[in-house]
Amino acid sequence: GIQVEQSPPDLILQEGANSTLRCNFSDSVNNLQWFHQNPWGQLINLFYIPSGTKQNGRLSATTVATERYSLLYISSSQTTDSGVYFCDCYDYGQNFVFGPGTRLSVLP
Amino acid sequence: EAQVTQNPRYLITVTGKKLTVTCSQNMNHEYMSWYRQDPGLGLRQIYYSMNVEVTDKGDVPEGYKVSRKEKRNFPLILESPSPNQTSLYFCASSFLSGTPYEQYFGPGTRLTVT
């Protein structure tokens, strides 16, 4: 099955800084999603992005399917961006596979 | 509104007392699954179902049972809960028959077994 890695495992930022989170996957995928888990445990769907680039406010994501990676960009970070960011991959006929996550702490 | 619902949201129980956590989705999704998440860790899949009457083990199925008698429901059953099953549980669903293969998650169930 697909192997999914995320980097960095932990990231500490000062409020206002920009960051890039990376998700590598071992095989071709039909789906890639980015989730944010807030400090209360809620999983929030950020992007459904099997390929290409999407933007939503201060967040954007790019998936280069041929090179098997996806990037999540957070600009002008805020304390509310703190939490864990997961990528989740799916290959048709297989199963969904989550990465281990990147824990982000944004300091005021 | 498209959603995945779980009940209960919070549960404190005692060792050995059978319990069921319900999961329901209103999007006609074929795929449903259960995950558990322990403090500081990622999501580990317990069981998943590709369609009605089709279920498969995930990474950590021991101590759990599931059933998929209807497309919209996928209950998680703990026949004899133990303290090591204290965790945060998520149910998820998705289409498999066509794009988008996008997972929708329920709000989570916090289970404490004493």
In tens, the pLDDT along B37-64 reads 998 889 999 999 999 999 999 999 999 9
Residues A45, B102: C-beta atoms closer than 8 Å = yes
The residue of chain B nearest to residue A37, with distances taken between CA atoms, is B42
Q: How far apart are CA A12 and CA A19, in angstroms?
A: 10
Regions of chain B short of the pLDDT cut 70: 98-99
Residues B105, A92: C-beta atoms closer than 8 Å = no
What pLDDT does A93 receive? 76
Q: Which residue has the higher pLDDT, B40 or A56?
A: A56
Q: Which residues of B are less than 8 Å from A3 in CB distance?
A: none
What pLDDT does B90 receive? 98
d(CA A76, nearest CA chain B) in Å = 26
In three-state secondary structure terms, B66 is strand
Establish if B105 touches chain A: CB-CB under 8 angstroms.
yes
- Asked whether A86 and B42 are in contact (CB, 8 A), the reply is yes
- Asked whether A85 and A72 are in contact (CB, 8 A), the reply is yes
- Asked whether B111 and B6 are in contact (CB, 8 A), the reply is no
Residues B92, A45: C-beta atoms closer than 8 Å = no
Whole-Å CA distances, B94 to A10, A99, A104, B11, B26: 29, 18, 27, 26, 11
d(CA A17, nearest CA chain B) in Å = 24
d(CA A108, nearest CA chain B) in Å = 22
Measure CB to CB from residue A90 to each of B37, B101, B105 and give the nearest one. B101
Report the percentage of chain A scoring pLDDT > 70.
100
Residues A30, B88: C-beta atoms closer than 8 Å = no
